[in-house]
Amino acid sequence: MNAPIDWLLAGDPWVEYRTRLDLLGEPIDSKKVQSARIQMLAHPLVRGLVGELQGWPGVVLNSHKSASQFFHKLTFAADMGLRVDDERIDKIVAKIMDHPSSEGPFTLPTNVPTHFGGTGETQYAWALCDAPLTVYGLVKLGLADNPAVQKAIQALINLVRDNGWPCAVSKELGKFRGPGRKEDPCPFANLAMLKLLSADEKLREYSAARLGSEVLLDLWQYSQTKHPYIFYMGDDFRKVKAPLVWYDLLHVLDVLSAFTFLKTDPNLLDMAEVLQKKMDSEGKFTAESIWTAWKEWEFGQKKMPSRWVTFLAWRILFRLGLA
């Protein structure tokens, strides 16, 4: 089965843009790539997203799983290919970087109730289930070499243990941590950190990436018995959905497939086989679950194949040499 390239190129401009770059390998300065990018930046949905992010940091953080959280929207904007020198992006970046923690990671207004170990008060803080994603967005926007971004990256990497990244939070959140054993690695924290390390060639070389990837691949291998912090790899996990927000099949595969040292890993290839079986007879993929916060986008429905979901799936297969 070949990727439905012509169908992807006929889609929304961000699908065409990423297809030309990531599947066809066209130069970023080629006329067709630049034309798609210009159309992407002018698209009402993209302009609306950038306009919404002008209100960074958005609502007070009380659920990292909420797909409407601004740090998730930032990562999607960065995944499409927006850059810091695009119109109004610099203003978003400035607001993010106005709130660094003393440790390094950037903070968000957060409220953790006292019965969960927090203070019950709204304060700027960070956790390993948000800070890496914010920094990922900054790296993808073109700020990998910024000193403040570098400080945040190093602080987050240094939290790794022999069994990957734990549930970790800034000092402002007191004794809060997720529902699990303290010594266990947090699956989503590892996914978020690996996503950050996948964003740049230099970051992918860190040995911590191997520790984090081992955590996720081990959880896949023993998905029937290992569920740290109540993260499962069951039926809901295996439903494809976009954008890449939480702990699910497409997100984990997208992140892990970015690391070339995993290309022949049997557990990763087994995971990819599950994805392949969701392909229809035309090589297209349909979302099996949706985020209602993104219902205006073409991937926010389950009735027909989605070009963005299909692009993400085929990019994974291309990376793993399965296409």
- CB 3, CB 24: distance < 8 Å: no
What is the predicted pLDDT for the residue at 1? 85
- Give the CA diameter of the chain: 57
Task: Taking residues 265-272, report their average pLDDT.
Answer: 98
What is the predicted pLDDT for the residue at 119? 73
- Which of 53-62, 184-193, 202-211 has the least mean pLDDT? 53-62
Given a cut of 80, is residue 238 above it in pLDDT?
Answer: yes
Pairing of the two strands 123-125 and 108-110: antiparallel
Given a cut of 90, is residue 176 above it in pLDDT?
Answer: no
What is the predicted pLDDT for the residue at 66? 81
Which tokens is 281 given?
């007879």
Q: What is the pLDDT of residues 37-91, one digit of tens each?
A: 999 999 999 999 999 999 999 976 667 778 899 999 999 999 999 999 999 999 9
In angstroms, rounded to a whole number, what is the distance separating the alpha carbons of residues 268 and 34?
34
What is the predicted pLDDT for the residue at 286? 98
pLDDT, the chain, mean: 95
- Which of 34-43, 138-147, 169-178 has the least mean pLDDT? 169-178
Q: Nearest to residue 231, comparing CAs of 211, 214, 252, 210? A: 252
Question: In whole angstroms, how far apart are CA 9 and each of 81, 110, 309?
Answer: 16, 41, 14
What is the predicted pLDDT for the residue at 62? 63
Given a cut of 70, is residue 117 above it in pLDDT?
Answer: no
Task: Taking residues 8-37, report their average pLDDT.
Answer: 98
Given a cut of 70, is residue 214 above it in pLDDT?
Answer: yes
Q: Nearest to residue 103, comparing CAs of 176, 158, 64? A: 158
More confident of the two residues 110 and 22:
22
Q: What is the pLDDT of residues 246-263, one digit of tens each?
A: 999 999 999 999 999 999
Percent of the chain surpassing pLDDT 70: 98
Q: Nearest to residue 33, comparing CAs of 55, 9, 53, 57? A: 9
Residues in the chain: 323
Given a cut of 90, is residue 278 above it in pLDDT?
Answer: yes
What is the predicted pLDDT for the residue at 121? 81
Given a cut of 90, is residue 281 above it in pLDDT?
Answer: yes
Task: Taking residues 229-245, report their average pLDDT.
Answer: 95
In angstroms, rounded to a whole number, what is the distance separating the alpha carbons of residues 166 and 128?
8
Percent of the chain surpassing pLDDT 90: 88
Given a cut of 70, is residue 285 above it in pLDDT?
Answer: yes
